[in-house]
Amino acid sequence: MVDDDGEVTRNRFVVWDKQDAGWGTEAVEVSLAADRFTASGVAIGWDPVAYRLSYTLETGAGWISTRLVAATRGEGWQRRLDLRRSATGTWTVTTELKGEVKMPQPGGDVSAFASALDCDLGRSPLTNSMPVLRHDLLRCDETLEFVMAWVSVPDLAVVASAQRYSTVPRRAAEPRRIEYTSIQRDFVAELTFDRDGLVIDYPHLAQRVESA
C-alpha cells in the first residue's frame, strides 16, 4: 500500500490474549513503513477496576514517539491523555477526566522523562517495538538501556521508567528473543518478536492470538 505521502506501508492486525495476567484482550491495527509506524488499538481489562482502553500511537522517523492519545473509561468515570513529543524533543501532556474513581491522577511531570525518545503504554506489548526497531535488535546483538515515558493503565499517569533490552543468542531460523528488564520494578521477561518487530509472546503479560 502507498500512503498519501507516497510512502510504501504494510498493514498488520494483531490480537493479544492477556487473560493469564488478568488483564483481558488487546487488538491493534498497525501501519508499518520503512522507519516508522502508526497504530490504533483497543483493550479491555479488569485490574484494578473494569475498564476499556482505546489509543492511537504515532512515531516519526527512526520509530521515535511523536504522539500517544489514550482514553480509558469504566463505570461512572472517563479519562483521556494526549502525550506528545515535538521535533525538538520536548514532551507535553494534556489530560481530561470525568467522574470519580480511586486511582492516581492522569498525566505527570514531563521533566522526569525529558530525555525519553519513546512512550511505553502500560500492559500493551505494542510499545516494546519502537526501541527494538530503532536499534535493529532483530539482527544485532546488543544490551541497551533506555528511559521511557511510561503510561500506567487504566489511570493514565505518566512517569519515567528505566528499562534494559538485551538480545538473546539464537539460531538463524528462530524468532528473535529479547530479555526485557524494568530496572525500577526488578521485573524481567524474555520477549519473542516476529520479523516486523511485533511481540509474539510476552511472558506474564500477553500471548499473540494467531489466525487459523
DSSP 102: S
Query: Is the Cβ–Cβ distance between 68 and 59 less than 8 Å?
Result: no
Residue 3 located in a structural domain: no
Question: What mean pLDDT comes out for the span 46-54?
Answer: 94
Q: Is the pLDDT of residue 124 over 80?
A: yes
pLDDT bin (cut points 50, 70, 90) of residue 19 is confident
Residue 2 located in a structural domain: no
| φ, ψ at 4 (rounded to 5°) | -65, -20
Residue 97 located in a structural domain: yes
User: Domain containing 122: what range?
Assistant: 10-208
Question: Using omega within 30 degrees of 0 as the cis cutoff, is the peptide bond preceding 154 cis?
Answer: yes
Instruction: Report the Cα 56 to chain-centroid distance in Å.
Output: 10
Residue 5 located in a structural domain: no
Alpha carbons 42 and 37: distance in angstroms, whole number: 17
Residue 176 located in a structural domain: yes
Residue 20 located in a structural domain: yes
Q: Where are the beta strands (DSSP E) in the chain?
A: 10-17, 25-32, 37-45, 51-59, 65-74, 77-85, 91-99, 118-121, 143-151, 158-167, 176-182, 187-193, 199-202, 206-208
Residue 108 located in a structural domain: yes
Question: How far does the chain reach from its first CA to its final CA, in angstroms?
Answer: 24
Residue 73 located in a structural domain: yes
pLDDT in tens, 155-209: 999 999 999 999 999 877 889 999 999 998 889 999 999 999 999 999 989 999 9
CB neighbourhood size of 3 (10 A): 11
In the numeric block, which cell numbers belong to residue 114?
Answer: 525529558
What is the count of structural domains for the chain?
1
pTM: 0.94
